[in-house]
Amino acid sequence: MKKLFLPCLLFMCLLLRCAPGIAQPATRQLRLQEIIALAQEQSAVAKQAQTTRETSYWQWRSFKSDYKPQLSLEGVLPDFSRSITPVTQPDGTLEFRPVSINNAELGLTLSQAVGPTGGTIFVTSLMQRFDDFDRNQTRYNGNPAIIGLQQPLFAYNGLAWSKKIEPLKYEESQRKYLEERESIAVDATELYFDLLLAQVNQSIAAKNLANNDTLYQIAQEKYNLGRLSKNDLLQLRLAVLNADLALAQATLDEQTAGLALKTFTGLEDSAQLQLDVPEVIPATIVAAQLALEQARKNRKESINFRRRMLEAESLVAKAKGDNGLNASLYATFGLTNRGATWTDIYNQPDNQQGVRLGFSMPVLDWGRQRSIYKIAELNQQLVQYKLSQEEASFEQQVLTQVNRYNTLKARIQTTAETDEIAQQRYEIAKNTFVIGRISITDLNIALAEKDQARRAYIAALSEFWTAHFSLRQLTLYDFEKQTALQDMEEER
């Protein structure tokens, strides 16, 4: 009867522990991919990345508009003046006369930048009106059409360099957006496993409290029967108290981690999150050479290196262009006329031509221009050295992450098996302790190993999934689907 009494008591205590309590708060079951999707769509960081991407798009649109025809309307309406003005008479003397006049002008100009030369071609039409209110006179002057060219000579061509650099800036911003999305995935994964580990710790603490309480009650019966020492009974009671403290701390940690995850992902509901353990891992083994090729092809670094090198070359070209003869050609050909009415301007207008060639050339500057050019040249060399170092560091980072990914992937199977064995060993140790074949010390060792193995397994999963999304961020490549993330983004 005594042999049947102890197992029955243990079963009844466990049954009471598992019985449902008073109404529990609503829970929301979520998986890792769902958390990542939420973070990438509605988190504050995701909205910042989207805004930055849109800003880059409109900067790109602004750049492209510089190479399209520009139509502008300019004018002065009115320019009225009423004053006493000195007027030179035919005999050379001055007379102060009251003058009340108004000038008005209006012009419509169509211009087109010429990228290869850095000049501007324009077509304009001008109209001027003069009113003398004292003499009741109105006169018109205008240019029905003028075609002109404004062309700098031997100068730095900012338009041509912008045409090389700005497309790289735009493409770099698009890839940066993809990297920021993957960075969000990495951060969300870390917060996910912070909460998951807290939930595992809370579950472990709750089970340990229940088990220790049950074992303590059994120990009291054994102590009353004289089959257990007072020291072992007190040790079990101490274990119950420590488990209760551990449960309180684990519950607080779970609440803190849950709030952090909700804040990051933008979840505003009051439901308690219940996370799944992402035990199904990708079967793909990542080859270092493939990862390196995709990183060079997809990441913004490859474009960033080219863009920075072009900017350095642009500064050298500017220093060289400003270091000698600078000239500018301005030429116009058109029609002009005047009359008492505005229609007279279009009646048999006269030809109008104009050519102006201006130049400037330093004669003595005490080496100033040469110093500017030398600084730009040395800066170009410095940028080249930095880019070489950064490129080597980037490649090393990719290779290190590949090795980390593959190593952590192999480690998961070991930690999973360790966790399973530790769980089984504890159950055996607990049952063996109930029948009095092992000491409380051996039971505590099995308990500690069980908890440690479970935490180690969750930690291994956390490190692997963090490495998984970090590798995606470094390469912008999905190794499972064997597709670049940029292609996947364009298909959406």
Residue 56 vs residues 35, 66, 415: alpha-carbon distances, Å: 28, 16, 46
For residue range 275-317, what is the model confidence (pLDDT) as tens digits?
999 988 888 889 999 999 999 999 998 899 999 999 999 999 8
The answer to whether 480 and 282 have CB atoms below 8 angstroms apart is yes
Alpha carbons 462 and 189: distance in angstroms, whole number = 8
99-113 per-residue burial string, b: 16 or more CB within 10 A, e: under 16: bebbeebebebeeeb
Instruction: Tell me the average pLDDT across 320-331.
Output: 84
- pLDDT the model gives residue 25: 60
pTM value is 0.79
Q: Domain residues of the chain, as ranges?
A: 27-60+163-310+381-491, 69-114+119-156+325-361
List the strands of the sheet with 137-153, edge to edge.
70-88, 94-114, 119-132, 137-153, 326-339, 350-360
Which of 31-40, 85-94, 374-383, 402-411 is least confident? 85-94
Q: What pLDDT is stored for residue 192 in this prediction?
A: 95
What are 6-65's pLDDT values in tens digits? 444 444 444 444 444 444 568 889 999 999 999 999 999 999 999 999 999 999 999 999
Distance CA 181, CA 131 (A): 65
Helices and strands (H and E) in the chain: how many: 10, 10
- Calculate Rg over the CA atoms of the chain: 41
- Whether the link from the prior residue into 78 is cis, omega within 30° of 0, is yes
- Over residues 482-491, the pLDDT tens digits come to 898 888 777 6
Instruction: Kindly report, residue by residue over 451-476, the tens digit of the pLDDT.
Output: 899 999 999 999 999 999 999 999 99
Q: Which CATH number fits domain 27-60+163-310+381-491: 2.60.120.640, 3.30.70.20, 1.20.1600.10, 2.60.40.1120?
A: 1.20.1600.10
- So what's the pLDDT on residue 78? 85
At 103 the pLDDT is 92
Which amino acid type is present at position 489? E
Question: Is 438's pLDDT higher than 90?
Answer: no
C-alpha span between 237 and 233 (Å, rounded) = 6
List, in sequence order, every beta strand (DSSP E) within 265-349. 272-275, 326-339
